[in-house]
Amino acid sequence: MEYLKNVKFIKSAFSKNDLLKDGFPIIAIAGKSNVGKSSFINSLANNKNVAKVGNTPGKTRSINYFFVNDSFYIVDLPGYGYSTMSDKERQNINNLTNYFLENTPSISHIFLLVDIRHLPSKEDRQMYDWLEASGKDFSVVLNKADKISNAKQENAIKDIQKFLFTSKDLTVFSSETKKNLDVILNKIYEKTNTTI
């Protein structure tokens, strides 16, 4: 299994003017504030220090760019759902995320992370429906699989598929056990047209 190499944090974008437009392929990571996006990114690089893992969900208020091997970006989108933000701050972040998704033609793939232990939230469902309607290339990753047994994982997959009204394959993942990490990495290399 080949982890992502030379992963460097480049910048945080807090406004439309901060967004990068250099045309490199982008793999975007979306999901709730406490779904484990930073740990997911760190697993891809096999480095716990690439993305900061916060103790308080909802602290990420920017779009964060990580450049991989001078070839493509991993972009961590602000988490949604749980946060101590004011309504105005939340709206600003939603607007920025929407603008990024709608106006970045170099997005090659989007991973939507959902906590396998729970049914998707209202915000998860909205994001899924938006991605489906947009025609963008995306997949759903059921994160934190190490927290439940294999038998419960099978039931969770069916329940989440039913809740999202989807027949898409859902990838079960754990940053602790590295379950299906090779599947995620292969998808990234395929979608960015980069070689391992």
Instruction: Give the tokens for residue 143.
Output: 């994160």
pLDDT average, residue stretch 184-188:
97
CATH number at residue 139: 3.40.50.300
CA distances from 66 to 5, 6, 42, 86, 109 (A): 11, 10, 11, 27, 15
68 falls within a domain:
yes
The model carries a pTM of 0.94
37 falls within a domain:
yes
Q: What per-residue confidence (pLDDT) applies to 54? A: 60
57 falls within a domain:
yes
2 falls within a domain:
no
83 falls within a domain:
yes
1 falls within a domain:
no
Instruction: Give the tokens for residue 177.
Output: 């056990």
Q: What per-residue confidence (pLDDT) applies to 12? A: 95
Higher-scoring residue by pLDDT: 98, 81: 98
Residue 1 reports pLDDT greater than 90 = no
90 falls within a domain:
yes
Q: Considering its fold, how many domains does the chain have in total?
A: 1
Q: Quick one: three-class SS letters along 32-61?
A: ECCCCHHHHHHHHHCCCCCCCCCCCCCCCC
Residue 196 reports pLDDT greater than 60 = no
Q: Which domain does 20 fall in, by range?
A: 7-192
- DSSP H or E run through 170: strand 170-172
pLDDT digits (tens, 9 = 90+) for 106-153: 999 999 999 999 999 999 999 999 999 999 999 999 999 999 999 999
- φ/ψ region of 37 (left if φ > 0, alpha if ψ in -120 to 50, else beta) reads alpha
Q: What per-residue confidence (pLDDT) applies to 66? A: 97
pLDDT digits (tens, 9 = 90+) for 43-93: 999 999 999 876 545 556 899 999 999 999 999 999 987 666 788 888 888
3-state DSSP call for residue 105?
A: coil
Q: Which residues contact 70 (CB under 8 A, 6 or more apart)?
A: 6
